[in-house]
Structure 1
Amino acid sequence: MLEHLKEQPKDKILALMAAYRADARDTKIDLGVGVYKDASGNTPVMRAVKEAERRINAEQTTKAYTGLAGDPAFSDAMIDLVLDGAVARDRVAAVATPGGTGAIRQALELIKMAAPGATVWLSDPTWPNHPSIIKYLGMKSKSYRYFDSDTGQVDYVGMLTDLGQVLPGDVVLLHGCCHNPTGANLTMPQWKGVIDLLKDKAAMPFIDIAYQGFGDGLAQDGAATRLVASSFDNVLIAASCSKNFGIYRERTGILMAVAKDEAQRDLAQQNLAYLNRQNFSFPPDHGARIVSTILTDAELRADWEAELEEVRLGMLDLRKQLADELRRLSNSDRFDFLAEHRGMFSRLGTSPDKVEMLRADHGIYMVGDSRMNIAGLNADTVPVLARAIIDAGV
């Protein structure tokens, strides 16, 4: 049987990681992998996470399964963090999932069950796993323009033009904040324009929010998601705890389904639990319990928010330093957009040939579409990157 399997395409980011490890140059810089790193190149365990784990280990008396939807305390805490009362709690169904990726997969499965003919619209570009999972599930998808490589900004006119072709019942996937891979975000007036268009088209929004707290702050980063959730009868929201809690390997995510009313919420909850049962039965609990422990304890939450703010401001400082250095070296403002982007990523908007030149000549590793992880830099490597970008003629 196994001889009939076909080779699958290699993951470009994993291949990039392997190439970086094999590079013997001491001056190499890894801007490819999407993981936060501090100035010394480590991905630290947050203080509040360590304390939450200590308490869990001291107090936990069983490792028995939680429910199919996960621990209700986790769902309540995450719904509060993401939605903050934007919709009534009795309208929100939720299940814990293995990471944000698991939440996206479950959301797409739910869409396929509820509306098998729906087209899922994706930003161009988007996180590569979005189209990959959709293709695997045999669902229909289309793309809408999002990023203007010449300006480094959102192509808002192109976005609205393309979304004008959305049909009733279609699903539009939107990044709640810190767009991956571009770092370019919609303004709140632009979000309102998108909402008006989707309401007019009778389409359903699907929000992927994986970086809340990495952009403009926890409340600001959740504002667009809350506005969308309060504007529609039905919204799907996939949220990840990997980045803002730094618990990547714990695979902690949640899928929320905003329903029209309590009866519809109950139906959605049933189906979400069913999907969990089919795909992995009970969701992982350790990371979810860390998150709920932190979010429900005033002292731990305050410490987590303070450390998260340090992370956010550190990335903003690196963005400004890089933009300033490129302005100095190029004697132009064409790279100023890097300081305006938010989150871990920015897209330079250059060609794969230039990206390869950066790797071959300067040991700068970034994804072929020129997405770079700003958190892979520090104050010492920013000038090195800036000089390499100029020398490569980006």
Structure 2
Amino acid sequence: MLTNLKPQPADKILALMGLYKEDPRDTKIDLGVGVYKDASGHTPIMRAVKAAEKKLWEVEDSKSYTGLAGDPAYGTAMRDLVLADSVSADRVAAVATPGGTGAIRQAFELARMANPDVRVWVSNPTWPNHVSILNFMGLPVLEYAYFDAVNCVVDFDAMIASLQGVKAGDLVLLHGCCHNPTGANLTLEQFGQVADLLLEKGATALVDIAYQGFGDGLDDDAAATRLLASKLPEMLVAASCSKNFGIYRERAGVLMAISEKAETTPLAQGSMNYLNRQNFSFPPDHGPRLVTMILTDPALKADWMAELEEVRLGMLGLREQLAKELRERTNSDRFDFIARHRGMFSRIGASPEEVLEMREKFGIYMVGDSRMNIAGLNSVTVPILAQAIATTCK
């Protein structure tokens, strides 16, 4: 049987990581993998996470299962963090999942369960794994216009025009903040217009929010998701704690389903529990429990928010420094968009050939579509990157 298997295409980012490791140059810069790194290139454990782990070690007295949906307190804490008071709590069902990716997969499964003929719309471009999962599941994928690759901004008119093709029962995937891979976000007003269009078409929004707190702050980054939740009768939200809590390997995600009426919430909850059972039975608990402890303990939450703000401001500082260095080297404002983008990523508009040239000549490792991880930089490497871009990108 196993001899019948066919080789699968390698993940481009993981392959890039391998090339980076093999490069002997001391000046090489890794801007590929989507993991936060501090100025020394290390992905640290946040102070509040360390404190919560110590406390958990002292008080935890069992490793038994929690439940198909995970600890209900985790769902409540994440609902409050992401949705706040934008929607009545009795309309929200929630399940813990293995990371944000698990939440996305379960969202697609839930949509297919509710509508076997569901079509899923994704932005062009989007996180590659969105499309990979949908293709693997055999679900129809449609793209809506999103990014102006020449000016590196959102092409909102083209986006609205392409979403005119949305039909009732379709699922439209939106990035809640810090769009991956472009770093270019809709304004709150534009999100409102998208909500109005989806309401008119009878489509359902799925919001992928994986970087809350990395862009403009915890509440500002959740504002679009909350606006959509307040305007739409139904919505799905896939949230990740990997980035803003720095617990990548703990796989802490959550899927929330907002029903039109509270009476429907138990049906959504039961269906989500069932899907968890079919796919992995019980979700991980260690990471979600740490998140719950942090969000429900005032002192831990305050320290977590303070450190998260340090991370956010650090990335903004790198963006501003890079934009300034490029302005000086190119004698133009061509790359000023980098300072306006938000989150870990920006797509800088370089061609695949230019990306390859930067890798070969300067040891700059970024994804072929020119997506770069801002968090892979520090104040010393920013000028090196700026020189490589200015020299290569004509």
Are 1:170 and 2:170 counterparts? yes
Pairing 1:109-148 to 2, within 5 Å after superposition: 109-148=109-148
Distance 1:255 1:284 in 2: 14
Note the C-alpha offset of 1:349: 1.2
Deviations along 1:183-222, one digit per CA (max 9) or x if unpaired, are: 0000111111111111111111100000000000000000
- Listed one character per residue, the Cα deviations across residues 323-359 of structure 1 (whole Å, up to 9, x for unaligned) are 0000000000010000000000000112100000010
The residue matched to 1:164 in structure 2 has which SS?
helix
Deviation at 1:263, TM superposition (A): 2.0
Distance 2:339 2:262 in 1: 43
Cα shift readout 1:51-106 (whole Å, capped 9, x = no counterpart): 00000000001000001000011000000000001101100000000000000000
Give me the whole-angstrom Cα distance separating, in 2, the residues matched to 1:83 and 1:118.
25
Within 5 A, what are the aligned runs for 1:1-394?
1-394=1-394
8 A contact 2:74–2:288 mirrored in 1: yes
CA distance in 1: counterparts of 2:32 and 2:176, whole angstroms:
22
CA distance in 1 between counterparts of 2:369 and 2:264 reads 41
Q: How far did 1:315 drift? A: 0.2
Q: Give secondary structure in 2 for the equivalent of 1:106.
A: helix
* In structure 2, distance between residues paired with 1:189 and 1:91: 25
**Which letter maps to 1:53?**
E
The answer on whether the counterparts of 1:116 and 1:139 sit within 8 Å (CA) in structure 2 is no
Partner-residue secondary structure (3-state), 1:382: helix
Q: What is the TM-score with the length of structure 2 in the denominator?
A: 0.99
Task: Tell me the secondary structure at the aligned position of residue 216 of structure 2.
Answer: coil
CA distance in 1, matches of 2:305, 2:393: 40
SS in 1 for 2:67: coil
Unaligned runs of 5+ in 2: none
Deviation at 1:393, TM superposition (A): 2.5
- What SS does the corresponding residue of 1:230 show, helix, strand or coil? helix
The runs of 5 or more residues in structure 1 that have no matched partner are none
Contact 1:183–1:343 (Cα < 8 Å) also in 2: yes
Contact 2:235–2:258 (Cα < 8 Å) also in 1: yes
Paired residue total: 394
Asked if 2 retains the 8 angstrom alpha-carbon contact of 1:28 and 1:365, the reply is: yes
The one-letter code sitting in structure 2 at the alignment partner of 1:59 is: V
Residue identity in the other structure for 1:174:
L
Identity %: 64
Q: Which amino acid aligns with 1:321?
A: Q
CA distance in 2, matches of 1:393, 1:339: 18
**Secondary structure of 1:361's aligned partner:** helix
Alignment RMSD, CA only? 0.6
1:95-153 CA-to-partner distances (Å, cap 9, x unmatched) read 00000000000000001111111110000000001000001111111001101011111
Is 2:206–2:235's contact at 8 Å kept on the other side of the alignment? yes
Q: Contact 2:350/2:393 (CA < 8 Å) preserved in 1?
A: no
Rounded Cα–Cα distance in structure 1 between residues aligned with 2:161 and 2:10: 34
Tell me how far apart the structure 2 counterparts of residues 393 and 231 of structure 1 sit (CA, whole Å).
43
Give the Cα separation in 2 of the matches to 1:23 and 1:155.
37
Distance in 2 (CA, whole Å) between partners of 1:146 and 1:384 is: 30
Contact conserved, 2:358 with 2:389, CA < 8 A, in 1?
yes
Q: Deviations over 1:307-332 (max 9, x none)?
A: 00000000000000000000000000
- CA separation in 2, counterparts of 1:6 and 1:155? 39
Q: TM-score, normalised by structure 1?
A: 0.99
Which consecutive segments of 4 or more residues in structure 1 shift more than 3 A? Answer: none
Residues 3-24 of structure 1 show CA distances to partners (whole Å, capped at 9, x for unaligned) of 0001101100000000000000
- Secondary structure of 1:123's aligned partner: strand
Distance in 2 between residues matched to 1:393 and 1:272, nearest whole Å: 47
- Tell me, yes or no, if the aligned pair for 2:13 and 2:32 is still in contact at 8 Å: yes
